C-alpha cells in the first residue's frame, strides 16, 4: 500500500503515542520514546510488523511515545495508516482481525 500524503494520529498525552506518517523510500522509523531503554526495540517491532501487515514498503514514520502500551501503539498506527492511505472508509479487515 502507498502513502498518499502526510497524516497524523495520536496525542502527546501521557500513555499515548503520536504518529506522523509521510512519503519516503524504504521504511524509516524515527522513534522518540520515554521508555526507549526498556521498550524501544519492542515498540519498533510492533511498528515494523504492522507496516508489513499492511504491505507498506515506503514510509517515513515519526513516533513520539509517552509510554503507550502495545495496544495503543497499534491503534494509533492503524489510524495513521488509514489516514495516510485514504482508506478510512475501507478498513483492512484482515489486518484488523
Partner 1 sequence: MLNKVNREIPDDILKEKNYKPFETTEIGNPETTYVAHQVKVSQGDNKLVESIPEVIEKTGLKNGMTISFHHHFREGDFVFNMVMQEIINEGFQDLTLAPSSLTNVMNDMVIKAIKAGTISHITSSGMRGTLGDFISHGGLKDPVVLRSHGNRARSIENGDIKIDVAFLGVPNADAVGNANAIHGDAVFGSMGYSLMDAKYADKVVLLTDTIMPYPNTPASIEQTQVDYVVKVPKVGDPDKIGSGATRFTKDPKELKIAEMVNQVITHSEYFKDGFSFQTGSGGAALAVSRYLRKSMIAKNIKASFALGGITKPTVDLLEEGLVNKILDVQDFDKGAAASMANNENQQEIDSSWYADPYNKGAAVNQLDVCILSALEIDTKFNVNVMTGSDGVLRGAIGGHQDAANAKLTIISAPLVRGRIATVVNDVTTVVTPGDSIDVLVTEVGIAINPKRKDLIAALKNVPGVPVYTIEELQKRAEAVVGKPEPLEFTDRPVALIEYRDGSLIDTVYQVKD
CB of 36 to partner 1, least distance (A): 8
E strand intervals along 1-97: 7-9, 17-22, 27-33, 59-65
Distance of alpha carbon 86 from alpha carbon 57, whole angstroms = 16
CB of 56 to partner 1, least distance (A): 24
Closest CA to 47 of 70, 14, 79: 70
Nearer to partner 1, 15 or 30 (CB): 15
Q: Compute, in degrees rounded to 10, the torsion defined by CA atoms 73, 8, 93, 88.
A: 160
- Residue 68 engages partner 1 in binding (rule: CB under 8 A): yes
Distance of alpha carbon 45 from alpha carbon 83, whole angstroms = 21
Q: Which of 38, 48, 52, 96 contacts partner 1 by CB under 8 A?
A: 38
CB of 91 to partner 1, least distance (A): 26
Nearer to partner 1, 24 or 67 (CB): 67
- Residues near partner 1, by CB under 8 A: 14-15, 34-35, 37-42, 66-70
Amino acid at each position: 500500500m502507498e502513502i498518499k500524503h502526510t497524516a497524523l494520529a495520536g496525542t502527546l498525552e501521557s500513555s499515548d503515542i503520536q504518529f506522523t506518517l509521510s512519503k519516503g523510500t524504504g521504511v524509516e522509523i524515527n522513534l522518540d520514546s520515554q521508555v526507549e531503554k526498556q521498550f524501544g526495540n519492542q515498540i519498533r517491532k510492533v511498528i515494523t510488523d504492522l507496516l508489513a501487515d499492511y504491505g507498506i514498503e515506503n514510509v517515513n514514520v515519526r513516533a513520539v511515545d509517552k509510554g503507550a502500551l502495545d495496544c495503543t501503539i497499534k491503534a494509533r498506527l492503524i489510524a495513521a495508516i488509514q489516514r495516510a492511505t485514504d482508506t478510512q472508509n475501507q478498513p483492512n479487515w484482515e489486518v484488523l482481525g
